[in-house]
Amino acid sequence: MEERGLTGNKMFEMVKKECERSLGKVVIEKKEKGILFRDTPYSKFVEGGKKWFKTGNRHTHVRYEGEIENRVPNGQGKESSPYGDKYEGEFKNGLRYGNGTLYFSGNTYEGRWKNGKKNGYGTFTSPMGLKYLGKWKDNKYHGHGKLSSPDFGKYIGIFKDGKYHEGTFIYPDESRYVGEYKDNKFWNGTSFDKNGNIRYKYVNGEEIKQ
C-alpha cells in the first residue's frame, strides 16, 4: 500500500525536488558572441590542452570570432590563422564539429567535421585541379570516394586510411585498372586498354602480361 502513495502529486513533487537539487550543482553559462585566441600550430594547441584565451595576437595566434559557451567556441563562428588559413562553420567544445569550410594554401575543404578533424562526407579541391569527393576519417580519405586530376586521371572506389583500397583507376586515355591495391600499388586486379581489352593481370602485386 505504501508504494501506491508515491503516485500522482506525491511522485511529481519528489521528482521535482530531486531535479532542483541536482540542477543546483550544475553551472550553466549562457551562449554569447565574442573573440577568442588559441595557440598555433594545431599540434601546439593540442599539446597545451586545447585552451582558448580572451586575449592574444592575431599575428602569432589563431583568432576566433563567433558564438561562445563555457569560455570556448560553441556554435557558429570563424577562425583565421596568421598564415592566411580560414575556417567558417560549426564548433563544439572548442573544436570544429559539424558542417564547415576550410580555406588553406589555396585549397578548399567543405564538409563534415568531428573533434577538430575532417570526418564524414566532404569535398576537397586544389588550385591545380585535384578534387576529392567522398568520405573522410580523421583527416584522411576513408570509405567510398572519387579522386580526380586533369593530368593523372581519376580513381573511383574505396579508400582506407588515405590510400587506394579497392576500385577503378581511369587514365586520361581511358585505359584503366580495376581491382585491389596495397600501399597504393596494383595488387589483385586487371588492367584494360581504352577499348576494353585485357593488357595485364595482377596477382599479389605481380604483373602478368596477357
Give residue-wise pLDDT tens across range 6-38: 454 554 455 445 545 544 544 455 689 999 999
Q: Give pLDDT tens digits for 106-138.
A: 999 999 999 999 999 999 999 999 999 999 999
Residue ranges, CATH 2.20.110, the chain: 128-210
The long-range contacts involving 192-196, CB below 8 angstroms and separated by at least 24 positions, are: none
Of 22, 66, 58, nearest in space to 40 by CA = 58
Question: Domain 128-210 classified CATH 1.25.40?
Answer: no
Cell of 166: 579497392
Q: What is the pTM of this model?
A: 0.82
